[in-house]
């Protein structure tokens, strides 16, 4: 106890002894650690030798020639639409059609009151017979030298006037029946029974929907890949698709947009497909070599770009950005991989760009479980 008290008293009088003791202990600990330390490089090399290469499933995909699709957007429209007007005065007597009804060319749409047209036609026919007989009599007298040229000319004029009157009455009679000038759908009807029409008054709006037309605009670079009668696919808002062809390509660009107007036509029997729907047009635009891949093969590079991981001849992982040529329901056609590419189809999520891997070109259960 006395000895401990002396040591404490000594330390109180000379505190630097404690600092020297601690420093000496740390120095001895550091010296002893160096003797057991390993070379970091040799440790890394040893670790690298022990880690096996990652296995990835690889599929060799071949490029095929496909057509790059030009996608445009437009609206379905009638082939032609016409406002039918009255060509004769009269009261609307009968109407035989309804709005939305399909009519064939020549179908009677409505009739006007014919009034006394039939009686006037009968009278005009009788007068025409009389004028013909009179003219024949004057001709015989002229041949016998008993009639002068003036009387014969007057008789001829009266005959022609009678013919004209009869033709005019017959035309008025025919115009009292309003007929469809072409096959179409009654889009709007503007009159009712009892309405009185003057010449030029509108009666109805008739739309021809066969063929159905879709108009769109293409850029200056796109128009060089288009030709008349080229096949076109139209997809309506109801997801139904129809095949048609290009019937018109503008020769002069629009001054405001520098684009060219095109028209595609599609068969529409009985005009069951209505006009006015937003429509997507797909046109095979340009032949190009591309490889078909599944969306499941896609990956991201460090910059967040979408692409696929492939391996080169050194079994290094290479990232190839996607250049989409065409999208389908079962995958994507992409170019930029050459005529052939070794695409990592399983395990791409466990390897990084630049890694050396062990490619497996056949089914491997280990990889499937790992992924």
| Domain parsing of the chain, residue ranges | 55-66+288-370, 70-79+209-286, 86-207
The pLDDT of 58-69, averaged and rounded, is 84
- On whether the CB atoms of residues 333 and 324 are closer than 8 A, the answer is yes
The C-alpha atoms of residue 106 and residue 174 are separated, in whole angstroms, by: 12
Of the candidates 188, 190, 204, 185, which has an alpha carbon nearest to the alpha carbon of residue 274?
185
Q: pLDDT of 151-169, one tens digit each?
A: 778 878 888 888 887 787 7
Please say if the pLDDT value at position 75 is more than 80. yes
Other beta carbons within 10 Å of 58: 24
pLDDT attached to residue 11: 56
117-143 and 149-175 are packed helices; what angle lies between their axes, rounded to 10 degrees?
160
Contact 55, 367 (CB under 8 A): yes
* Fold adopted by 55-66+288-370: 2.40.420
Nearest to 362 by CA among 45, 56, 6: 56
- What per-residue confidence (pLDDT) applies to 358? 83
What's the pLDDT tens digit per position in 38-60?
Answer: 455 555 454 445 567 888 888 88
Looking at residue 338, its pLDDT comes to 79
- Dihedral sign, Cα of residue 352, residue 356, residue 362, residue 367: negative
Is the confidence at residue 367, as pLDDT, over 60? no
Cα-based torsion angle of the residue sequence 136, 137, 138, 141 in order, rounded to the nearest 10 degrees: 120
Q: Taking residues 123-146, what's their average pLDDT?
A: 78
CA distance linking residue 1 with residue 12, whole number of Å: 17
d(CA 318, CA 58): 13
Whether the CB-CB separation of 94 and 111 falls below 8 Å is answered with yes
| pLDDT interval class at 230 (50, 70, 90) | very high
Quickly name the fold that domain 86-207 has.
OB fold (Dihydrolipoamide Acetyltransferase, E2P) (2.40.50)
Stated pTM of the model? 0.56
pLDDT band at 20 (very low <50, low <70, confident <90, very high): low
Instruction: Yes or no: say if 315 and 330 are a contact pair by the CB < 8 Å rule.
Output: no
| Band (36; pLDDT cuts 50, 70, 90) | very low
Q: What's the pLDDT at 108?
A: 92
d(CA 222, CA 246): 14
Q: Which of 220, 330, 210, 232 is nearest to 282 (CA)?
A: 232
pLDDT score of 370: 44
Work out the end-to-end distance of the chain between its first and last CA atoms, rounded to an integer number of angstroms. 71
Q: Assign 3-class secondary structure to the chain.
A: CHHHHHHHHHHHHCCHHHHHHHHHHHHHHHHHHHCCCCCHHHHHHHHHHHCCCCEEEEEEEECEEEEEEEEEEEEEECCEEEEEECCCCEEEEEECCCCCCEECCCCEEEEECCCCHHHHHHHHHHHHHHHHHHHHHHHHHHHCCCCCHHHHHHHHHHHHHHHHHHHHHHHHHHHCEEECCCCEEEEEECCCCCCEECCCCEEEEEEECCCEEEEEEECCCCHHHCCCCCEEEEECCCCCEEEEEEEEECCCCCCCCCCEEEEEEECCHHHCCCCCCEEEEEEEEEEEEEEEECHHHEEECCCCCEEEEEECCCCEEEEEECEEEEEECCEEEEECCCCEEEEEEECHHHCCCCCECEEECCCCHHHHHHC
Q: Is the peptide bond before 211 cis (omega within 30 degrees of 0)?
A: yes
The highest-level CATH class for domain 70-79+209-286 is mainly beta
204-217: b (≥16 Cβ within 10 Å) or e: bbbbbbbbbbbbbb
Distance CA 93, CA 116 (A): 14
163-216 pLDDT, tens digit per residue, is: 887 787 777 776 788 899 999 999 999 999 999 988 889 999 999 999 999 999
Per the prediction, the chain carries an average pLDDT of 80
Per-residue confidence at 147, pLDDT binned at 50, 70, 90?
low
336: which residues sit within 8 A by CB, 6+ positions away? 320, 321, 322, 323
């Amino acid at each position: 106890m006395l000895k401990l008290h002396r040591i404490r008293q000594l330390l109180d009088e000379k505190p630097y002894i404690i600092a020297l003791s601690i420093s000496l202990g740390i120095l001895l600990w550091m010296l002893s650690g160096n003797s057991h330390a390993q070379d970091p490089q040799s440790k890394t090399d040893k670790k690298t030798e022990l880690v096996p290469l990652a296995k990835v499933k690889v599929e060799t995909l071949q490029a095929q020639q496909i057509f790059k699709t030009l996608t445009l957007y437009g609206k379905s429209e009638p082939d032609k639409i016409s406002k039918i007007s009255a060509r004769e005065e009269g009261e609307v007597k009968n109407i035989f059609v309804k709005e939305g009804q399909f009519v064939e060319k020549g179908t009677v749409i409505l009739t006007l009151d014919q009034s006394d047209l039939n009686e006037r036609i009968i009278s005009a026919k009788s007068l025409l017979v009389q004028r013909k007989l009179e003219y024949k009599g004057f001709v015989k007298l002229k041949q016998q030298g008993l009639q002068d040229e003036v009387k014969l000319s007057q008789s001829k004029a009266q005959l022609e006037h009678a013919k004209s009157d009869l033709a005019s009455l017959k035309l008025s009679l025919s115009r009292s029946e309003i007929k469809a000038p072409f096959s179409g759908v009654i889009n709007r009807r503007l009159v009712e029974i009892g309405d009185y029409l003057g010449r030029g008054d509108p009666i109805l709006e008739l739309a021809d929907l066969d063929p159905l037309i879709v108009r769109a605009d293409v850029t200056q670079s796109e128009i060089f890949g288009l030709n008349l009668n080229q096949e076109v696919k139209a997809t309506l808002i109801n997801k139904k698709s129809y095949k048609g062809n290009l019937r018109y390509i503008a020769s002069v660009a629009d001054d405001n947009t520098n684009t060219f107007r095109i028209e595609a036509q599609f068969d529409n029997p009985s005009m069951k497909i209505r006009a006015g729907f937003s429509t997507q047009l797909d046109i095979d635009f340009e032949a190009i070599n591309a490889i078909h891949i599944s969306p499941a093969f896609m990956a991201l590079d460090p910059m967040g770009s979408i692409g696929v991981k492939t391996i080169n001849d050194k079994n290094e992982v290479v990232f190839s950005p996607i250049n989409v040529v065409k999208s389908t329901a079962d995958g994507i056609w992409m170019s930029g991989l050459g005529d052939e590419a070794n695409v990592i189809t399983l395990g791409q999520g466990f390897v990084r760009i630049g890694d050396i891997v062990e490619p497996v070109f056949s089914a491997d259960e280990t990889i499937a479980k790992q992924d």
